[in-house]
């Protein structure tokens, strides 16, 4: 009798565990050579992609769920996948030589991602990165909130630029002297979701969550919505601490913003263009085309904020524990090395910190180039720029450090492991501008 009861108990437990088990989502990703049709050319362009798609498949999962990713490398060279911005188990971070071995051609790697934070993230290789990203390997990963969100539409725009030759092929030289002397590889064809100036149909009265992701190799975007006002509600995968209007927000490679936009109820038939204004030459990125249909009811709500997350005061009485001077010198495998404290990867000047103790880091740019500095696996707050208090009502995982600028950030090491820290201009990183922040239990 007893054993029957215990068997029944086991069965009951298995049944009760079912909902948890189904919170795992299986996804297969294959890095491969494929073709992509750009509208500017008659012939297709040879690209490297995930699952034959440009951009890679949009991956979505709910906060708290686990994504189980079966990754296959069908390229002719090693690769890996890094999940930009996600706070996950360090072993899943996808950095060859730091958290895993490179995935060789024909090999598989299983990534298990427990989704801790709801927000906009993305994924890309972390091996021969300038070339692998430059040929198209990247995609968006969205972690949805547990509760259904009240927006009438959720749009995802992966902004990218490609360096294409007249014949439609991708310019095949990477980490060139020119790229290294300047701000990396800037393309000549700007795309949103792999398309040239795509139009997105929306309805009058709709309230839209527009997620912008900068997946470019090196280009900085300054998005401008003509005739529409927008609020910034999240930056780099985390809700802002205070909602603010989109004005001049520079998105450097790696950065994301989520915007809250209401299409006016009388805007039927109008088209709003979204332009990039970072360079003197303005580019149309995409547009919102409002249909002639009747206006829908505009959802009325206040988006959530991360009000109390690492406020600046948390760092008031803390000294800078690490200053990284950013500069270049002659040398290294490309002739020009990009260094942090005069050291280049893998002979880097590293940082290590105990778990849970707030830290301040300073990036001191002695060069005249741009360095969007990214730390894996954390959200940090910008505290000072050039010694002046910065008042950013949000946290980030990537901060643009301008020519001769210094930026001080604060964060709390919450996840043990070795977290790569580098410039997100791919050519700079490959020419040495990488180090690690190690968080010890
Ligand atoms: Cu987008 Cu090392 O990261
Ligand atoms: Cu840089």
Contact 74, 158 (CB under 8 A): no
pLDDT tens profile 198-236: 999 999 999 999 999 999 999 999 999 999 999 999 999
Q: How far apart are CA 391 and CA 402, in angstroms?
A: 17
Classified as helix, coil or strand, 252 is coil
Read off φ and ψ for residue 270, nearest 5 degrees. -85, 155
Residues with CB under 6 A from ligand 1: 82, 84, 124, 126, 254, 374, 376, 420, 422, 424
Which is nearest to 392 in space by CA: 405, 409, 376?
409
Among protein residues, the one whose CA lies closest to atom 3 of ligand 1: 84
Q: Where in the chain do CATH 2.60.40.420 domains reside?
A: 23-144, 153-290, 312-440
Q: How far apart are CA 118 and CA 237, in angstroms?
A: 7
Percentages of the chain per state (helix, strand, coil), in multiples of 5: 10, 45, 45
Q: How far apart are CA 290 and CA 267, in angstroms?
A: 7
Beta strand 119-124 with 139-144 is antiparallel
How far, in Å, is the centroid of ligand 2 from the Cα of 98?
A: 20
Which is nearest to 304 in space by CA: 69, 63, 28?
63
Contact 440, 354 (CB under 8 A): yes
User: Cβ neighbours of residue 334 under 8 Å, at least 6 residues apart?
Assistant: 175, 177, 180, 430, 431
CATH number of 153-290: 2.60.40.420
Residue 252 has pLDDT above 60, yes or no: yes
How far, in Å, is the centroid of ligand 2 from the Cα of 426?
A: 8
Among protein residues, the one whose CA lies closest to atom 1 of ligand 1: 84
pLDDT tens profile 4-18: 555 555 444 444 444
Q: How far apart are CA 114 and CA 310, in angstroms?
A: 22
Atom of ligand 1 nearest to the CA of 254: 1
Beta strand 66-73 with 24-36 is parallel
- Structural fold of domain 23-144: Immunoglobulin-like (2.60.40)
pLDDT tens profile 106-143: 999 999 999 999 999 999 999 999 999 999 999 999 99
Q: Which architecture, in CATH terms, is 312-440?
A: Sandwich (2.60)
């Amino acid at each position: 009798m007893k054993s029957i009861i215990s068997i029944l108990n086991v069965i009951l437990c298995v049944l009760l565990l079912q909902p948890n088990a189904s919170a795992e989502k299986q996804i297969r990703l294959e890095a491969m050579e494929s073709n992509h049709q750009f509208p500017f050319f008659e012939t297709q362009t040879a690209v490297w992609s995930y699952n034959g798609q440009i951009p890679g498949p949009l991956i979505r999962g709910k906060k708290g769920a686990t994504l189980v990713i079966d990754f296959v490398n069908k390229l002719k060279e090693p690769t890996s996948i890094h999940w930009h911005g996600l706070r996950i188990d360090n072993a899943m971070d996808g950095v060859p030589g730091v958290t895993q071995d490179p995935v060789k051609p024909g090999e598989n790697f299983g990534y298990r991602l427990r989704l801790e934070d709801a927000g906009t993230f993305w994924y890309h290789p972390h091996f021969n990165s300038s070339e692998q990203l430059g040929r198209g390997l990247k995609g968006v990963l969205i972690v949805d909130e547990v509760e259904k969100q009240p927006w009438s539409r959720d749009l995802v725009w992966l902004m990218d630029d490609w360096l294409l030759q007249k014949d439609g092929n991708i310019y095949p030289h990477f980490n060139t002297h020119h790229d290294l002397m300047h701000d990396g590889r800037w393309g000549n064809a700007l795309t949103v979701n792999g398309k040239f100036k795509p139009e997105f149909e929306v309805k009058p009265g709709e309230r839209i969550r527009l997620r912008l992701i900068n997946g470019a190799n090196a280009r900085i975007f300054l998005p401008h919505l003509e005739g529409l006002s927008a609020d910034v509600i999240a930056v780099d995968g985390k809700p802002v601490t205070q909602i603010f209007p989109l004005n001049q927000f520079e998105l450097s490679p790696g950065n994301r913003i989520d915007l809250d936009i209401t299409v006016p109820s009388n805007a039927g038939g109008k088209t709003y263009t979204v332009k990039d204004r970072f360079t003197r030459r303005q580019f149309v990125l995409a547009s919102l085309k409002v249909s002639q249909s009747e206006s829908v009811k505009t959802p009325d709500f206040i988006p959530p904020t991360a009000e109390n997350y690492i406020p600046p005061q948390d760092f008031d009485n803390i000294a800078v524990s690490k200053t990284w001077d950013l500069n270049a010198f002659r040398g290294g495998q490309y002739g020009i090395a990009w260094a942090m404290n005069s050291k280049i990867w893998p002979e880097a000047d590293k940082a290590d910190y105990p778990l849970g103790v707030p830290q301040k880091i300073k990036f001191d740019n002695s060069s005249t180039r741009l360095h969007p500095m990214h730390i894996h696996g954390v959200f940090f707050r910008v505290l000072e720029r050039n010694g002046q208090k910065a008042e950013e009502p949000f946290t980030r995982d990537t901060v643009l450090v301008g020519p001769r600028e210094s930026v001080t950030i604060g964060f709390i090491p919450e996840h043990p492991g070795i977290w790569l820290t580098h410039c997100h201009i791919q050519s700079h990183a490959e020419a040495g501008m990488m180090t690690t922040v190690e968080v010890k239990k």
